[in-house]
Structure 1
Amino acid sequence: MGSFDTIVIGAGMSGVTAARMLADAGHRVVVLEGRDRIGGRMHTDREAGFPVDRGASWIHGIDGSPLWDLVQALRIPTIEYTVGSFQVGGRPIENFDGDGRPMGSDVTARWIDDVDAVDRLLVDEIAASSPGDTYLDVTERALDRSGLTPERIDDIREFFRHRVEEQCGAWIGDLDAHGLDEDAIDGDEVIFPHGYDEVPRRIGAGLDIRFETTATKIVRSTGGVTVHAGDTAFTADQVVVTVPLGALKAGSIEFEPALPEAVAGPVARLGMGVFNKVFIQFDQRFWNEDSYVLRALGEAGEHWHSWYDVSAVSGLPTLLTFAAGPLGRRMQELPDEEVVADVVRALRALYGDAVGEPRAHWVTHWGDDEFSNGSYSYLALGSTHHDHDDLAGPVDGVLHFAGEATWGDEPATVGAAYYSGRRAAERVLGRTVDLDGFAARIIEREQKEAR
């Protein structure tokens, strides 16, 4: 019998969810967290007096989403913002052509039709693909069949590359042909005007969380587990490991005995993408009030291509752009000021002198983050969707894994983290956990605290 019933490693969304569900069931739980805060890759920076979500921002599709149900039950305010799925149309988007000129409505309509037509061909190519085919391979085959002019093909080729970067944080040639199969989004998307980390912070309130305590070794035996964090050892009957895939791939935790192939294989095969955010705030808005996105297509958008208007959060004109995949890795090696200057140059190529000097900026470096080594998982060439779920274990009945990378239905999302945390708790408990009751208990505890 260990000092605890369960040790949870990581206080991100999956970790606090599993820990809270186990604690609610009467388990003695301790959470070991290397950072000095709850949330992991959900990181809301409030230093400026308003929230800046450096990590996760969106719920991608609220229809039939238990995560959305939780957010509503906790009465956390949201703003509808349906573009995180890298749409080609459907919302007000200011498009610029390959020469940086604004596109009129006729040209825009043709562009949307082009992408829709090639996307339909792409579905067939993915279905007919062979093991070893990358997403680059299948997009090229679809483009070859499209019959479009070379110039229109070039614009769609660039769009496909950026879509993979934004969805996966990876280069299109590293993604498996089936890498975007699970990316269908049902319903609107929302962002959080008060910051997304309110969700894990409220779930985790009152848990025994040991901050700045980094697990380095897990020893398992038939009698349970011992987790080493520096000079301290914690023992328990079971352990739930929720560190990001990037940390597992880097070998930041030693497992004794070594992980079996059933789990080690998925760790090796799945990819960890890099997706960095650049927020830039201006004194004056130089784009249309109702535009969701400013987007440069083709050559004009080779590097910086999509700017999202997130002014609603701070009330100040603010654009969010992304450096993902190879660009994300390169950019995080430069000083933030250089990155911001480069983004502003790209905007001035489209809007000219109307683009003023930035008043503030925020730049993330997830690929350099010692606790995540990247932003989120993706289906690298040679991996399959089964690898995500296989990664969850359990191993020897005592070692469980949770986190976005362990949930095959919608990896790389906060929803995946939440659902995988629940699955881990249920496997430890040997029974299902009711999500309505889970939310109700959070509210009940908060009301008790307030009295």
Structure 2
Amino acid sequence: MDPKDPLSADLFDGSVLSHIERQQNVCPSVIVIGGGISGIAAARILHDASFKVVLLESRDRLGGRIHTDYSFGCPVDMGASWLHGVCNENPLAPLIRRLGLTLYRTSGDDSVLYDHDLESFALFDMDGRQVPQKMVVEVGDTFKKILKGTEKVRIENSDDMSVCQAISVVMDRHPELRQKGLAHEVLQWYICRMEAWFAADADVISLKNWDQEHVLSGGHGLMVQGYDPIIKALAKDIDVHLNHRVTKILYGSNKVMVTIEDGRNFIADAAIITVPHGILKASLIEFEPQLPEWKVAAISDLGVGNENKIALRFEKVFWPNVELLGIVAPNSYGCGYFLNLHKVTGHPVLIYMAAGRFAYDLESLTDDAAVNFVMLQLKKMMSDATEPVQYLVSRWGTDVNSLGCYALDLVGKPGDIYERLRAPLGNLFFGGEAVSMDHQGSVHGAYSAGVMAAENCQRHLLQKLGNLETLQHAYFRDEVLEGTVPIQISRM
């Protein structure tokens, strides 16, 4: 700390604390760092509990990896777009109902594609020939058997391994599950779709943990109006400061001082950190005192996946009236798929999605080059494909505000990693999807993590003030629901 700065380290030892307290309001104050849905949820709860809350966000917008773009004339989510778990148990259900938002249901609970059923799809080979539907279904059944076989491999091995390694073991044991020719390429496409769920390649996904996530019931649905209305509703009346990149956090038993890029300081009784896990892994925020070794190790041991989208708007629809268009290849890296947003919005829009190493490789290209690559694939599938009139390209892996998409269980990670990630340090609390209880990588998981961090922070500060009985409950949590989350658009 600058010795000329009047807010020196003595502040946290209490020598000038009384001076600071005289300038503070009686109500507790909290700085929320990060304006994704986790940070906004935390700020919402504390604001509604009459805390003094300031939210600092490095971007020029709120939402974090929720980013609904409207330039196509319809909402296009370039980050999170699905509600995983279309049920009243989803913590976002009350807000979705209150806002009257609609969902387009893409799958039930037992989909082999994780967020899509095999009800509305068309797969093509590299020469543009459509794969017979019967083959796709049969290979899907084989894929389920392979994944089932990996469970036995996990039980037999005390040491962790990658999902890719486990699949190889199953194939060696059961050669009848091996596929040849076109069927092999279809199997690779299924693996590609599995990798998309984790935003990582199968050779880095932990066998021990890959299927341990608690996925809520009700299947999966696309947010027809996008996620932006939820962000706006949660952020209403919050004291938000955009373009405020935090570079340093000085924390102690009494106060927290947060320094932003231009050198300005914010002081509060506590802080909640909800920045993306990639930011913490890259050590872009300095902590004083330094984070303890157990916290640093937890941050290091948890991976971050990457998934990107290339949104294409055309003059008119030239593709089949299906939800999902895919291209198969000899390996999962070469496979690809398009989400048909025309089914959801009525606008001629396709979304190409890429995950893992392929997502990073696309980020190495210019926007034009990335679009040209995707269009080559599309033209192989449909010879009458026209050029897009507009496009959008995400770059979450290299975006300095995110450095990736969501948490990834790496091979051999410790079993208590999430407990250590979410554990507070005095008056410093941690949110974000990476610390979610059983729902990492989901919007509702990030929301719940923000709720949890806010409630813990609130309890901590009120206990210090001796007012614990005034503890208020989470935003929307106590509302009694009737019926189900609205699914007002069915499959066409």
Normalised to the residue count of structure 2, the TM-score between the two structures is: 0.83
2:478 matches 1:433: no
2:389 matches 1:365: no
Partner of 2:161: 133
Question: Deviation at 1:379?
Answer: 0.6
Partner of 2:198: 168
Instruction: Check conservation: 2:140, 2:187, Cα contact below 8 A.
Output: no
Partner of 1:317: 348
2:151 matches 1:123: yes
What RMSD in Å do the two structures reach over aligned CA positions?
A: 2.5
2:231 matches 1:200: yes
Partner of 1:449: none
Question: Deviation at 1:287?
Answer: 2.8
Partner of residue 421 from structure 1, selected from 422, 447, 450: 450
Q: Describe how 1:86-101 pairs up with structure 2 within 5 A.
A: 86=114, 89-97=117-125, 100-101=128-129
Structure 2: how far apart are the matches of 1:385 and 1:50? 43
Instruction: Check conservation: 2:255, 2:269, Cα contact below 8 A.
Output: yes
The 1:174–1:127 alpha-carbon spacing in structure 2 relative to 1, beyond 3 Å, is same
Instruction: Check conservation: 1:99, 1:300, Cα contact below 8 A.
Output: no
The 1:84–1:329 alpha-carbon spacing in structure 2 relative to 1, beyond 3 Å, is farther
Partner of 2:76: 52
Structure 2: how far apart are the matches of 1:344 and 1:166? 20
Partner of 1:298: 329
SS at match of 2:404: coil
Question: Deviation at 1:53?
Answer: 1.0
Please identify the structure whose Cα radius of gyration is greater: 2
Q: Describe how 1:268-417 pairs up with structure 2 within 5 A.
A: 268-289=300-321, 291-299=322-330, 302-351=333-382, 353-384=383-414, 386-396=416-426, 398-417=427-446
* AA aligned opposite 2:439: E
Instruction: Check conservation: 2:323, 2:343, Cα contact below 8 A.
Output: no
* AA aligned opposite 2:57: E
The 1:432–1:253 alpha-carbon spacing in structure 2 relative to 1, beyond 3 Å, is same
* AA aligned opposite 2:69: D
Instruction: Check conservation: 1:7, 1:238, Cα contact below 8 A.
Output: yes
Question: Deviation at 1:155?
Answer: 3.5
Instruction: Check conservation: 2:126, 2:380, Cα contact below 8 A.
Output: no
* AA aligned opposite 2:323: Y
Structure 1: how far apart are the matches of 2:205 and 2:331? 24
Partner of 1:70: 95
Structure 2: how far apart are the matches of 1:414 and 1:436? 16
The 1:416–1:384 alpha-carbon spacing in structure 2 relative to 1, beyond 3 Å, is farther
Question: Deviation at 1:115?
Answer: 1.4
SS at match of 1:255: strand
* AA aligned opposite 1:321: Y
Q: Describe how 1:246-265 pairs up with structure 2 within 5 A.
A: 246-265=278-297
The 1:47–1:18 alpha-carbon spacing in structure 2 relative to 1, beyond 3 Å, is same
Question: Deviation at 1:434?
Answer: 4.1
* AA aligned opposite 1:114: T
Q: Deviations over 1:387-410 (max 9, x none)?
A: 2342112112x1111010111401
Question: Deviation at 1:33?
Answer: 0.9
Question: Deviation at 1:217?
Answer: 0.6
Partner of 2:29: 5
2:133 matches 1:105: yes
The 1:52–1:39 alpha-carbon spacing in structure 2 relative to 1, beyond 3 Å, is same
Alignment length, in residue pairs? Answer: 437
Question: Deviation at 1:221?
Answer: 1.4
SS at match of 2:257: strand
Question: Deviation at 1:97?
Answer: 4.7
The 1:311–1:300 alpha-carbon spacing in structure 2 relative to 1, beyond 3 Å, is farther
Question: Deviation at 1:192?
Answer: 2.1
Partner of 1:445: none
Partner of residue 213 from structure 1, selected from 231, 244, 249: 244
SS at match of 1:81: strand
Instruction: Check conservation: 2:309, 2:351, Cα contact below 8 A.
Output: yes
Structure 2: how far apart are the matches of 1:60 and 1:26? 32
The 1:216–1:87 alpha-carbon spacing in structure 2 relative to 1, beyond 3 Å, is closer
Structure 2: how far apart are the matches of 1:101 and 1:151? 17
Normalised to the residue count of structure 1, the TM-score between the two structures is: 0.90
SS at match of 2:310: strand
Partner of 1:237: 269
Question: Deviation at 1:309?
Answer: 0.7
Structure 2: how far apart are the matches of 1:387 and 1:408? 12
SS at match of 2:31: strand
SS at match of 1:354: coil
Q: Which moved more, 1:87-96 or 1:25-34?
A: 87-96
Instruction: Check conservation: 1:308, 1:320, Cα contact below 8 A.
Output: yes
* AA aligned opposite 1:106: K
Instruction: Check conservation: 1:74, 1:439, Cα contact below 8 A.
Output: no
The 1:41–1:439 alpha-carbon spacing in structure 2 relative to 1, beyond 3 Å, is farther
The 1:439–1:226 alpha-carbon spacing in structure 2 relative to 1, beyond 3 Å, is farther
Structure 2: how far apart are the matches of 1:224 and 1:247? 23
Structure 2: how far apart are the matches of 1:128 and 1:92? 38
The 1:300–1:254 alpha-carbon spacing in structure 2 relative to 1, beyond 3 Å, is closer
Question: Deviation at 1:319?
Answer: 1.4
Question: Deviation at 1:116?
Answer: 2.0
Q: Deviations over 1:397-427 (max 9, x none)?
A: x111101011140101111111001101110
Question: Deviation at 1:238?
Answer: 0.9
The 1:47–1:317 alpha-carbon spacing in structure 2 relative to 1, beyond 3 Å, is closer
Structure 2 residue ranges without an equivalent (≥5):
1-20, 460-470, 481-492
Instruction: Check conservation: 1:135, 1:179, Cα contact below 8 A.
Output: no
Partner of 1:447: none
Partner of 2:4: none
Structure 1: how far apart are the matches of 2:255 and 2:311? 46
Q: Deviations over 1:50-92 (max 9, x none)?
A: 2221111111121321222321123223322338954675321
The 1:320–1:84 alpha-carbon spacing in structure 2 relative to 1, beyond 3 Å, is farther
* AA aligned opposite 2:347: L
